[in-house]
Structure 1
Amino acid sequence: MRLEDLDYFLAVAASGHVGRASETVGATQPALTKGIQRLERELQIQLFERTAKGMTLTVPGQAFYERLRAARLGIDEAVKEANDLHLGKVGLIRAGISPNYAEGLFGDACASLLRQRPAARIQVTVGLNDKLFAALRQGDLDFCLSALPRGEQNEFDQRPLFNDHLHVVAREDHPLFRAHGLRFDGLGRESWILPGPQVMARRAVEASFAERGLPPPNVVIESNSSIASLMNVVKNTNLLGITGEMTLKQAFGAGLRMLELEGAMWPRTVGIITRRNAYLSPLTKRFIELLETAAK
């Protein structure tokens, strides 16, 4: 069984199309087609359904894909570990950061690391947790600094750092702050700016509405852009938004105010998230230690 055939299979399975996969792996479409046919003959299994729209994994193909993807990540990490041992302290850190924490804590840790390890390189991806967790699963990130997912997570290891509870916020002179007897139910009459439905913060808000028998919030702007951009919209409209306590203490939190209502706060812990049993280079481990120190 050829390693390149396995890589061809992974690329086609991920893209669902031989043409797109050929661009990813830098091989011709006939080479990919022959490689997959060779693999199917060796396994004596049909891995794909061929359709006019592309390639769809069969049930056995999907099971093979999940196992092979994990094994391929293990091979990549073995190579990375060997290189790290050869190069010593030189290396690359691939960090995923929630936009709430890209300043302050993360910046302090970066400065400390570069003083200690001037040859280090840090590749930073800033995004919300849905994007970061997907990249972490794929092995594109070494770790994330983000709100920790709630409930049991078999795929991730978590290191709590601090609490940063989520609040409903509005501009300081929003009419709601002059309303008498305002309760959570009244938020259902307002319009909102929220991140996409796959983001944990959005799901937490919608769950609170559902628990009270309310329809989902009226989201007129859905955006996964930077927290500064979102809060700027809140400051200049009557829209409600959500953000953590740390955001309100930063420069772009000026002009915003929390709505202190029962049920309008969601406990949240921020920390370091890594793939379970994944290899972490000595340099990455040192950077995580610096983040833990900066969070104290």
Structure 2
Amino acid sequence: MRLEDLNYFLAVAETGHVGRASEQLGQTQPALTKGVQRLERELNLQLFERTPKGMVLTTVGQAFFERAREVRFAMDQAVREANDLHLGKVGMLRVGVPPNYADYFGTTCALLLQQRPAARVQVTIGLNDRLFAALRVGDLDLCISAQQTPSAPDFDQQALFSDNLHVIAREGHPLFLKPRLQLADLAQAAWLLPGRKVVARRTIDARFTENGLPPPNVVVESSSTSFSMVSMVRATDMLTVATESSMKRPESRGLRAIPLREASWPRRMGITTRRGSYLSPLALRFIEMLHQNKPAL
């Protein structure tokens, strides 16, 4: 089996189209078509259904795709490890960071670059749905994230610090005047929240479901942290969630946590890596420094 044929197959499977895959790889469409056909002959399997709209993986092809992607990931890891050895343990570090913890990352990264001035760092800022997806396909070495319970089977987690989550509202919100506030009262409010794939959103939805309530009425869904849009919360009766560390910032002025036990969640932040992946000496040193420079919350 030729390695280039495997790469051709993966590119076509990921794009669903020979033309787009050829542009991505810088190869001609006939070369990709021949490579995929050659691979199918060698495996004696039909990997794709050819349709007018593109290439669709068969059931067997989907299973092979999952395994082949793992092989490519392992090859990429082997190349990175060899390059690290060749370059004297200096290399590229790729880190995913939620917006709320960019300062913590930046301070620690500055210390790392003082110690390793030849190092290079790529930073992806985003919520954990985006970061976990990038981690799974090998585009990140590690990310700072809320810890999942239980952890996903393909991830390893290292706890760093606690930063609990609270439902918040503007000062003077009618909920603060209710004599016997209940979670059901929050279910009737309008909300600003991140998307459904984000851990914080799933945690909130689960709390409402556990109490026999419908999920929050999300009026505004944000691809960033809810706290980045607190001006909207401050100017309306919408509810959102924020971490304890966020509530200590100057921008939280005029906002309060809802005084209800069910409206808060314990949360640990930590380091997430892909299970079994290669971590360069640079990545391992950065992880050490993240532990040494944990923020005082």
Do these two structures clear the TM 0.5 threshold for a shared fold by scoring above it?
Answer: yes
Query: Quick one: distance in 2 between partners of 1:113 and 1:141?
Result: 17
* Corresponding residue number in structure 2 for 1:232: 231
- Residue 152 of structure 2 is matched in structure 1 by 153
Mapping of residues 216-231 of structure 1, within 5 Å = 216-231=215-230
| 8 A contact 2:227–2:242 mirrored in 1 | no
Deviation at 1:227, TM superposition (A): 4.7
Q: State how far apart, in whole Å, the 1-side matches of 2:5 and 2:276 are.
A: 26
Matched with 1:282 is 281
Aligned mates of 2:25, 2:149 — CA distance in 1: 36
**Helix, strand or coil at the partner of 2:145:** strand
Alignment of 1:84 with 2:87, yes or no, is: no
TM, length-normalised to structure 1: 0.96
Q: Secondary structure in 2 aligned to 1:60?
A: helix
- The 3-state SS of whatever aligns with 2:293 is helix
Q: Which residue of 1 aligns with 2:172?
A: 173
Give the Cα–Cα distance (whole angstroms) in 2 for the partners of residues 142 and 152 of structure 1: 17
Structure 1 SS opposite 2:262: coil
- Offset of 1:152 from its aligned partner? 4.1
- Provide, for residues 264-286 of structure 1, a one-character-per-residue CA deviation record: whole Å limited to 9, x for no partner: 11221110000111111111111
CA offset at residue 185 of structure 1?
A: 0.8
C-alpha contact 1:99 1:227 (8 A) present in aligned 2? no
Q: Tell me how far apart the structure 1 counterparts of residues 178 and 204 of structure 2 sit (CA, whole Å).
A: 21
Name the amino acid aligned to 1:125: T
Task: Please say if residues 49 and 55 of structure 1, whose CA atoms lie closer than 8 Å, have aligned partners that are also in contact.
Answer: yes
Matches of residues 244-263 of structure 1 in structure 2 within 5 Å?
244-263=243-262
**Contact 1:100–1:227, Cα closer than 8 Å, also in 2:** no
Deviations 1:175-216 (A, max 9, x none): 222222111110011000010111111111111111122111
What residue in structure 2 maps to residue 101 of structure 1?
A: 101
**CA separation in 1, counterparts of 2:189 and 2:210?**
18
Q: Contact (CA 8 Å) 2:89, 2:282: kept in 1 or not?
A: yes
CA distance in 2, matches of 1:31, 1:97: 39
Q: Is residue 25 of structure 2 the alignment partner of residue 48 of structure 1?
A: no
Aligned to 2:38: 38
Give the direction of change, closer, same or farther, for the CA distance of 1:223–1:180 in structure 2 (3 Å limit): same
Q: Which moved more, 1:190-199 or 1:166-175?
A: 166-175
C-alpha distance in 2 between matches for 1:127 and 1:243:
16
- What does residue 74 of structure 2 align with? 74
**Deviation of the 1:125 alpha carbon:** 0.3
What residue in structure 2 maps to residue 29 of structure 1? 29
Query: Residues 227 and 241 of structure 2 are in contact (CA less than 8 Å); yes or no, is this contact kept in structure 1?
Result: no
Q: What is the Cα-based RMSD across aligned positions, in Å?
A: 1.4
| Aligned match of 2:202 | 203
Cα distance in 2, alignment partners of residues 167 and 234 from structure 1:
14
Quick one: which amino acid aligns to residue 142 of structure 1? D
Amino acid in the other structure paired with 2:205: E
Structure 2: runs of 5 or more not aligned: none
When structure 1 is superposed on structure 2, of 63-72 and 227-236 the one drifting more is 227-236
DSSP 3-state at the match of 2:285: helix
- Change in 2 beyond 3 A, CA 1:121/1:251: farther
Instruction: Tell me how far apart the structure 2 counterparts of residues 23 and 263 of structure 1 sit (CA, whole Å).
Output: 52
Taking the TM superposition and a 5 Å limit, the aligned residue runs for 1:113-192 are 113-192=112-191
8 Å CA contact 1:184–1:262 kept in 2: the answer is no
Secondary structure of 1:45's counterpart equals coil
Q: Tell me, yes or no, if the aligned pair for 2:226 and 2:240 is still in contact at 8 Å.
A: no
Structure-2-length-normalised TM-score: 0.95
Instruction: Indicate conservation of the 8 Å contact 1:158/1:274, yes or no.
Output: yes
Output the CA distance in 2 between the equivalents of 1:218 and 1:205.
Answer: 12
CA change 1:226–1:204 in 2 (3 A) is closer
